[in-house]
Amino acid sequence: MPLNFFYAALIRRALPNAKIICVRRGALDACLGSYRQLFATSFAYYNYSYDLLDTGRYYVAFDALSRRWRQSLGEGYTEVRYEDVVEHTEREARRLLEFCGLRWDPACLAFQNNAAPVADSLFDLLEIQPETLSELLDGGVSSLTTSRGKTSLTRRSR
């Protein structure tokens, strides 16, 4: 869930042995991805994503809170960079499984074969098939493009 990072300390208090994983993404890609994504409009907690400056401020606040969690939550907290997962999927999967105290399973690299439904706005909104996930992941890194000195940004309708 996008807002679970607010509650990391409460989660730790309620579940002292919980493993908390914070998935990070480069600031520019994270902000543009949030800005371009049409989140549930019935929830006010996504209102930050309707304005690019607000999205940037939100990211700065997220970054500061993540830094606090790194310092205060100790060994039960780790971060993974989205870009690292795209570039080094097996290495990152192994690292996260080890962090969680779980054994390696080669099926972790065959996620497209998982029959469980995917609850992700990207899949739901665009009706994307899991087999195209690797293409999507690669496209999600450094999504801001420039051509002849002009910046290109496509925004979804709100």
Domain that holds residue 99: 4-152
Please indicate, yes or no, if residue 43 is contained in any of the structural domains.
yes
The per-residue pLDDT for range 53-90, each reduced to its tens digit, is 999 999 999 999 999 999 999 999 999 999 999 999 99
Q: Which helix (H) or strand (E) holds 16?
A: none
Please indicate, yes or no, if residue 35 is contained in any of the structural domains.
yes
Please indicate, yes or no, if residue 69 is contained in any of the structural domains.
yes
Residue 150 reports pLDDT greater than 50: no
Residue with tokens 């549930």: 40
The per-residue b/e assignment along 108-140, b for 16 or more CB within 10 angstroms, e otherwise, is beeeeeeeeeeeeeebeeeeeeeeebeeeeeee
**In terms of pTM, does the model score above 0.75?**
no
pLDDT (average), residues 84-100: 96
- What's the pLDDT score for residue 140? 55
| Closest listed residue to residue 93, CA positions, set 105, 76, 78 | 105
Please indicate, yes or no, if residue 158 is contained in any of the structural domains.
no
Q: What is the CATH number of the domain that holds 109?
A: 3.40.50.300
Please indicate, yes or no, if residue 31 is contained in any of the structural domains.
yes
